[in-house]
Amino acid sequence: MRANPVREAARWIMGRARWVSLEPGALRDLARVLREAEIPAWPEEHHFIGGEELTLRYLLVLDALNFCFWPGKARWHIEGPRGEKLDGYYALAYGLKRAAQDFPEFFEPANLARISEEGFRKALGDIPLLPARIRVVQEVGRALLRFGSARAFLGVGSCAGIVERVTAHIPSFRDACLYRGRWVPFYKRAQILCSDVHGAFGGKGPGDLPDMDWLTAFADYKLPQLLRAHGILMMYPTLAARIDAYREIPAGSDEEIEIRAATVHAVELLVGELSHLGWRARAFEVDWLLWNLSQDRDLPFPHHRTRTIFY
288: nearest Cα among 181, 191, 149, 201: 191
* Banded pLDDT at 73 (limits 50, 70, 90): low
Cα dihedral 108, 101, 58, 311 sign: positive
Segment 206-214 mean pLDDT: 96
Contact of 271 with 283, CB cutoff 8 Å? yes
Mean pLDDT of the chain: 95
CA 76 to chain centre: 18
- Give the pLDDT confidence of 137-157 residue by residue, as tens digits: 999 999 999 999 999 999 878
pLDDT in tens, 221-278: 999 999 999 999 999 999 999 999 999 999 999 999 999 999 999 999 999 999 999 9
For residue 65, which of 167, 119, 166, 134 has the smallest C-alpha distance?
134
Domain boundaries, the chain: 5-294
Angle of the 130-147 helix axis to the 52-64 helix axis, nearest 10? 140
* Average pLDDT over every residue of 209-220: 97
Q: pLDDT tens for residues 13-24?
A: 999 999 999 999
What is the pTM for the complete model shown?
A: 0.95
DSSP 8-state assignment for residue 46: G
Distance of alpha carbon 133 from alpha carbon 178, whole angstroms: 24
Q: What is the pLDDT of residue 41?
A: 85
Backbone angle region of 153, left / alpha / beta, with phi > 0 → left and psi within -120 to 50 → alpha: alpha
Number of alpha carbons in the 13 Å side-chain half-sphere of residue 124? 29
- Flag whether pLDDT at 43 surpasses 90: no
Is the pLDDT assigned to residue 296 strictly greater than 80?
no
Percent of the chain with pLDDT over 90: 87
- Taking only the tens place, the pLDDT of each residue in 94-112 is 999 999 999 999 999 999 9
Residue 119 pLDDT grade (very low, low, confident, very high; cuts 50, 70, 90): confident
pLDDT at residue 28 is higher than 90:
yes
Which residues carry out catalysis? 220
